[in-house]
Structure 1
Amino acid sequence: MFTDTHSEVCFERGPDGRHLAVSRDIAASPDAAWEILTDTTYWPAWGPSVTGVDCADRVIRAGSRGRIETAFGMPLPFEITSCEDFRWTWDVANVSATGHRVEALDDGCRVVFEVPVLAAAYAPICQRALGEIERLAEG
């Protein structure tokens, strides 16, 4: 659908139905990227809309609950609905939100955000987040 020099956006069908896949290949190990995605202390560093996280679990797991502080000044509750095999999903304010996954490549990994079709306008924010994840993972 759309490609820039660093990321790709396309439609795909996954375990939770059809969504936009916003992805970027990075020169880091899948474990390094996964750590950045699942350790809540990293979320404000790569999430443009997240300014803080309050969660009892530093590293998320299925069932983790907490609050994210948003750039809009509004705290929103979240719950991690699944977290296994290098993929996690969540509900934010009781609404199914982006999925996150890491795929191994021969020379690094691919990080993918699964964006609900109705939230397609969020894709550029995900592209920016992928750039920050790349910076953190490769840095």
Structure 2
Amino acid sequence: MTTLTLHATGPVDPAEAWDRYLYPARWSSWAPQITGVETDAARIAPGVTGRVRGPVGVSLPFVVDEVDDGGRRWRWTVQLGPIRLRLLHWVSPGPDGGTTTGLRIQGPAPLVLGYAPAALLALNGLVRRS
């Protein structure tokens, strides 16, 4: 099992960045590797399940494990066959205004390291103005 932590900082207000996480229908607007999301709820909450769609028809099931609105943190598990990636996201005020967002990815090293460039691109999209 490998764990990798990524961060990005940008001008978007923390409340806006958090809102972009809360509604899966918005994920593809800031995460270029996501082409769509099918879910059983409009807003993330513990126990919400769905499928996240990526390039070339890839569709992976996920479950939201926890959401802490006050702390602006949430965790979910994405499954690729028998393999699971656990992703912990958080949003906090940036050092000079705006937002810093973080992501801790846990899973098999090839998947974690292979996903890291796309994840960093998405994090940067999350904290940038549309």
Same fold (TM over 0.5): yes
TM-score, length-scaled by structure 1: 0.75
Q: Which runs of 5+ in 2 are unaligned?
A: none
- The one of 77, 86, 91 equivalent to 2:77 is 91
Larger RCO: 1 or 2 (CA < 8 Å, sep 6+): 2
Superposed displacement of residue 90, structure 1: 0.9
Q: Which runs of 5+ in 1 are unaligned?
A: 1-16
TM-score, length-scaled by structure 2: 0.80
Could you tell me which residue of structure 2 aligns to residue 103 of structure 1?
92
In structure 1, C-alpha distance between the alignment counterparts of 2:89 and 2:118, rounded to whole Å = 14
Listed one character per residue, the Cα deviations across residues 8-29 of structure 1 (whole Å, up to 9, x for unaligned) are xxxxxxxxx9732211112222
Higher strand proportion, which one?
A: 1
Q: Counterparts in 2 of 1:8-87, with a 5 A limit?
A: 19-84=3-68, 85-87=71-73
In structure 1, C-alpha distance between the alignment counterparts of 2:84 and 2:3, rounded to whole Å = 15
3-state SS, counterpart of residue 60 of structure 1: coil
Superposed displacement of residue 59, structure 1: 1.4
For the Cα contact (< 8 Å) 2:10–2:94, is it kept in 1? no
Q: Percent identity?
A: 26
The number of residues matched between the two structures is 121
Structure 2 residue 122 is the aligned partner of structure 1 residue 129: yes
